[in-house]
Structure 1
Amino acid sequence: MAKLTVKALESLAPRQKPYEVRDDAEPGLWVCVLPSGLRSFVWRYRFHNKTKKLTIGPVGLAEARRMARDARNLRDDGTDPALAKRAQRVAKAEQARQLEREIKKLPEQDDVETVIAAFIERHCEPKLRTGQAVARVLRKDVAGPWKGRRLSEITRADVHELLDGLIDRGAPVQANRLLSYLNKLCRWAVSRGIVAHNPCDGIGKPSQEKSRDRVLDDHELRLVWRAAGELGWPFAPIIRLLILTGQRKSEVAEATWSEFDLDARAWRIPPERVKNKRLHTVPLSPQAVALLKNLPRIQSASDLVFTTTGKTSVSGFSRAKRNIDVAVKVLNAGTQIPAWTIHDLRRSAASGLAKNGAELHVIERVLNHVSGAFAGVVGVYQRHTFADEMRAALDAWGRHIEQITSEKAAGDAELDTVEA
């Protein structure tokens, strides 16, 4: 047959059995016409004195001729075209299998666990209790229930179901915290282009929280001070230092000796341990200095003031609080005082400073608040440290605590109880 043309190729009618037609324009190129009407090209050649065939497939005439020429060039360069094609096919198959393995190994970009892990790494500082709390809640209460799910598929109904579960467990306040943390996570994911929408949008707090205003009076502070003494190391000095300084529990419990200058009666809490990320210098009353000087020094690389291992700060505040309550009841002639929390000691110190005459802006400096009197423009331009005023206020508070917790004061209180 002469040189094939496109028209001649299309005119090849199918038969009951496959048949081949040679293309004289390209030596070795044949077209095979199948009973189905399919036209598939092959190139026949000799390699190392053996007749071989390379299947080109159902392509156009021009493409078949080009592929036949490429195959001839390979053969002339000493490569068997059929073996090269087989090797290429095997390589592609292995590449596809490798890609499939990688896809299975790598989660989707918006996989809930992946998004949470990235958020925690970038926004939850491990040294801060707040960062640890956010990470713990997201891992336990979000990544756990939504394991294997994509954040883009999470709906508002899913969020409500998550929150309802906490409320049904009797943790309404925790449900509020979870919504807050989850909302921050989702807003961050939207801002990064990981997901298109925030499923928390339009969801209000699942429960109403009561603002805490519990303040321990002098009698109650005396009981807590004395009850803490029953615990011994390390919770007795921690509780007492909380009362004397009005600082946060984590700031006291995780303090290091290098932060204290007892000669200057100053406690400098570094920014990384402070909620507002600002260096906070707390004047120490003589009572606080005496307490610190009487503490045992545990030699360790951690330099922690309150530690039982030498490596980590103390834990077990919940149990310590229960033990204090038991001791308070005994000291109070079998009567328990109204419910209180360790954080209430900070509020009680602030209230006590006010009753002793300290002004509001001085109290806020002691507590290291950046809201209230130091919010907005005032906070930007007000650079006076109020160090002297803070020292005077805390010294007066220290004297007051010493007075109400002295043996004489305790004896008078017990006498009043008996007479009553």
Structure 2
Amino acid sequence: MTAKVLTVQSVERHKPNPERRLEIPDATLPGFYLVVQPSGAKSWAVRYRINGQPRKYTIGAYPLFDLGAARARAREALQMVALGRDPFVEKKAAAAAARVAEKDRVAHVATIYVDRHLKPNAKPGYAETAAALITNHVLPCWGERRIGDIGRADVVALVDSLTDKGMTTGANRVFATTRAMFNFALARGMIPTTPFLGLKPPLAETSRDRVLTDAEVRLVWKAAEAVGFPFGPMVQLLLLTGQRRDEVGKMVWPELDGLVWTIPAVRTKNSLEHVVPLSPQARAILDAAPRIVGAGFVFTRSGTAPAADYSAGKKRLDSAMLTIANKEAAQQGRDPKAVSMPPWRLHDLRRTCSSGMARLKVTPHVIEAVLNHRSGTISGVAAVYNRYAYLDEKRAALEMWAQHIARLAE
């Protein structure tokens, strides 16, 4: 085909041949072609020879690249050929480098870490929390960077930014989760070392030792009655059983069987099934809970999900406690304005239950059995095979504790 100068109008006018692909040369720039497919799709290409071998370099589709842009790209490619460089090879190498760069990005490694490690190996709650920490705090800073380029100074800058925002234990959780992700990358050969070597979490943590007094236990019980279902009864069951917040909050009816509540291994912190004897007071709370048709969860509003708004529920509970305390202070002739409520957390109810049973002379190994601890006096092989060990002792301890709470609430 005799080359003619390609123009905007001629590019538009060229029609496809249903039988074969057309390549229309440009007289202005030899080697530059408009390619028209039988389908009608048009694109741009450059044909050249290098080291005696013919090559074709594809510029891109029309009209994504108009005539002017395509001709400029073609001229650059032919200039590279004149200098002994192969634009086809360099384009292929650049694409491969881009793919490698994508694999090396922190965001890509994070996806692999979540999908191949957290989801298969960690409990759903932990996996979800860890993924959220990475998504919310790590990826905005490092997501598009190569993981191998992250150094100790970057880690220090990240945790400093978190503590500057007021994060305390949360900053430690981000540090630990990110360190675990880098250790995962190290184990898989993605990085030669980890920038976390020798670094410690940003803040020292002290174990909480908050135990509610008997007067506070009484207020919690009465305030829970005032708050009502589902949060109030859930708090009462936390206090009566000493189990963890999510274990109680996400309780389902099939776990309950008369006098016992069996928490499956997938829902316990130590991944061991745990049998909890139910005191008469605990059974009364469960008997009074409304049964929503088709619902598996005990403490639920919708029937399809647990009532997990713990923060809002705790605020309502604290408010109810203060209201009750102020009213009683006025009745007793004390100044209601002088009443104060020291801060506490839902997990403190577990510690209060443990401490309360100890005050009632329950032996340490029974308390550990109630709390589903497998360290200290119950550990090793005995912990695995003693699924029903101390069942009677646990029942006696929890009923003694429940009676103590009942006396306080009178």
1:369 match? 373
* Per-residue deviation, 1:141: 0.9
* Per-residue deviation, 1:56: 7.5
Alignment of 1:169-184 (within 5 A): 169-184=165-180
Asked if 1 retains the 8 angstrom alpha-carbon contact of 2:118 and 2:127, the reply is: yes
2:145 match? 149
**Residue correspondences, number:** 325
Asked if 2 retains the 8 angstrom alpha-carbon contact of 1:110 and 1:195, the reply is: no
Asked if 1 retains the 8 angstrom alpha-carbon contact of 2:262 and 2:274, the reply is: yes
1:102-142: per-residue Cα shift (whole Å, max 9, x none)?
A: 87578632311111122222333486332222121111111
1:415 match? none
Asked if 2 retains the 8 angstrom alpha-carbon contact of 1:110 and 1:194, the reply is: yes
1:281-330: per-residue Cα shift (whole Å, max 9, x none)?
A: 11111110111011001123x51111112222112211211121121112
2:6 match? none
Return the alpha-carbon distance in structure 2 between the equivalents of residues 90 and 205 of structure 1.
Answer: 52
Residue in structure 1 matching 2:358, options 343, 350, 354: 354
> Secondary structure of 1:282's partner?
strand
Return the alpha-carbon distance in structure 2 between the equivalents of residues 259 and 107 of structure 1.
Answer: 49
One-letter identity of the residue aligned with 2:171: A
Q: 1:357 to 1:56 in 2, by over 3 A?
A: closer
Alignment pair present for 1:277 and 2:271: yes
Asked if 2 retains the 8 angstrom alpha-carbon contact of 1:266 and 1:281, the reply is: yes
Return the alpha-carbon distance in structure 2 between the equivalents of residues 127 and 380 of structure 1.
Answer: 19
One-letter identity of the residue aligned with 1:244: L
2:213 match? 217
Q: 1:95 to 1:303 in 2, by over 3 A?
A: farther
Return the alpha-carbon distance in structure 2 between the equivalents of residues 56 and 260 of structure 1.
Answer: 79
Alignment pair present for 1:327 and 2:320: yes
Q: 1:272 to 1:107 in 2, by over 3 A?
A: farther
1:37 match? none
Q: 1:101 to 1:332 in 2, by over 3 A?
A: same
TM-score normalised to structure 1 length: 0.71
Q: 1:55 to 1:389 in 2, by over 3 A?
A: closer
2:343 match? 339
Asked if 1 retains the 8 angstrom alpha-carbon contact of 2:275 and 2:387, the reply is: no
Q: 1:100 to 1:313 in 2, by over 3 A?
A: farther
Q: 1:252 to 1:128 in 2, by over 3 A?
A: farther
1:400 match? 404
Asked if 2 retains the 8 angstrom alpha-carbon contact of 1:304 and 1:312, the reply is: yes
One-letter identity of the residue aligned with 2:390: F
Return the alpha-carbon distance in structure 1 between the equivalents of residues 282 and 89 of structure 2.
Answer: 69
> Secondary structure of 2:102's partner?
coil
Alignment of 1:179-194 (within 5 A): 179-194=175-190
Return the alpha-carbon distance in structure 2 between the equivalents of residues 109 and 58 of structure 1.
Answer: 34
Asked if 1 retains the 8 angstrom alpha-carbon contact of 2:241 and 2:353, the reply is: yes
Return the alpha-carbon distance in structure 2 between the equivalents of residues 382 and 276 of structure 1.
Answer: 15
Return the alpha-carbon distance in structure 2 between the equivalents of residues 93 and 268 of structure 1.
Answer: 68
Q: 1:281 to 1:220 in 2, by over 3 A?
A: same
Return the alpha-carbon distance in structure 2 between the equivalents of residues 200 and 350 of structure 1.
Answer: 37
One-letter identity of the residue aligned with 1:140: N
One-letter identity of the residue aligned with 2:283: V
Q: 1:57 to 1:127 in 2, by over 3 A?
A: closer
One-letter identity of the residue aligned with 2:102: E
> Secondary structure of 1:149's partner?
coil
Alignment pair present for 1:314 and 2:318: no
* Per-residue deviation, 1:238: 0.6
Runs (5+) with no aligned partner, structure 2: 1-46, 60-85, 327-335
Asked if 1 retains the 8 angstrom alpha-carbon contact of 2:260 and 2:276, the reply is: yes
Q: 1:257 to 1:185 in 2, by over 3 A?
A: same
One-letter identity of the residue aligned with 1:327: A
The Cα RMSD (Å) is 2.8
Asked if 1 retains the 8 angstrom alpha-carbon contact of 2:147 and 2:191, the reply is: yes
* Per-residue deviation, 1:380: 6.3
Asked if 2 retains the 8 angstrom alpha-carbon contact of 1:111 and 1:148, the reply is: yes
Asked if 2 retains the 8 angstrom alpha-carbon contact of 1:225 and 1:240, the reply is: yes
The more displaced of 224-233 and 97-106 is 97-106
Alignment pair present for 1:299 and 2:299: no
Asked if 2 retains the 8 angstrom alpha-carbon contact of 1:325 and 1:336, the reply is: no
Return the alpha-carbon distance in structure 2 between the equivalents of residues 159 and 271 of structure 1.
Answer: 35
Return the alpha-carbon distance in structure 2 between the equivalents of residues 229 and 381 of structure 1.
Answer: 39
Q: 1:385 to 1:99 in 2, by over 3 A?
A: farther
Query: Which structure has the greater CA radius of gyration?
Result: 1
* Per-residue deviation, 1:57: 6.2
Q: 1:273 to 1:288 in 2, by over 3 A?
A: same
Alignment pair present for 1:112 and 2:116: no
1:322-351: per-residue Cα shift (whole Å, max 9, x none)?
A: 121121112112412211111000000111
Asked if 2 retains the 8 angstrom alpha-carbon contact of 1:246 and 1:345, the reply is: yes
Return the alpha-carbon distance in structure 2 between the equivalents of residues 405 and 297 of structure 1.
Answer: 26
One-letter identity of the residue aligned with 1:350: S
State percent identity of aligned pairs. Answer: 38
Asked if 2 retains the 8 angstrom alpha-carbon contact of 1:176 and 1:207, the reply is: yes
Asked if 1 retains the 8 angstrom alpha-carbon contact of 2:101 and 2:146, the reply is: no
Q: 1:233 to 1:102 in 2, by over 3 A?
A: farther
* Per-residue deviation, 1:257: 0.4
Alignment pair present for 1:245 and 2:245: no
> Secondary structure of 1:215's partner?
coil
Asked if 2 retains the 8 angstrom alpha-carbon contact of 1:328 and 1:336, the reply is: no
Asked if 1 retains the 8 angstrom alpha-carbon contact of 2:114 and 2:131, the reply is: yes
1:266 match? 260
* Per-residue deviation, 1:382: 6.2
Q: 1:274 to 1:128 in 2, by over 3 A?
A: farther
